[in-house]
């Protein structure tokens, strides 16, 4: 297998890298699309421990819009 890589030219290496990157970006996009469909269940799962320790009848408050994205 190593001999095959030694015989490849730079453009062949770059072509292989491009195909690997496209597959990786496709997998990330598919994972994002799949998880976006379950965003409510995922956020409930992340917030459950925090809501459990909040005092009774106290809501979870974000003081700025982006704080909701940093709940981990």
pTM comes to 0.57
Q: Would you place residue 3 in the very low, low, confident or very high pLDDT band (cuts 50, 70, 90)? A: low
SS percent in the chain: helix, strand, coil, step 5? 75, 0, 25
How far is the CA of 72 from the CAs of 23, 33, 39, in angstroms? 28, 20, 14
Coil, strand or helix at 15: helix
Reported as a single tens digit per residue, the pLDDT across 18-69 is 999 999 999 999 999 998 888 888 888 888 888 888 888 887 777 777 776 6
Query: With contact defined as beta carbons under 8 Å apart, do 60 and 51 qualify?
Result: yes
Distance CA 25, CA 27 (A): 5
């Amino acid at each position: 297998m190593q001999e095959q890589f030694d015989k490849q030219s730079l453009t062949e290496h770059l072509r292989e890298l491009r195909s690997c990157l496209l597959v990786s970006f496709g997998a990330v996009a598919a994972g994002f699309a799949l998880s976006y469909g379950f965003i409510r269940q995922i956020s409930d799962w992340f917030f459950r421990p925090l809501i459990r320790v909040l005092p009774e009848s106290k809501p979870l408050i974000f003081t700025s819009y982006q704080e909701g994205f940093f709940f981990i």
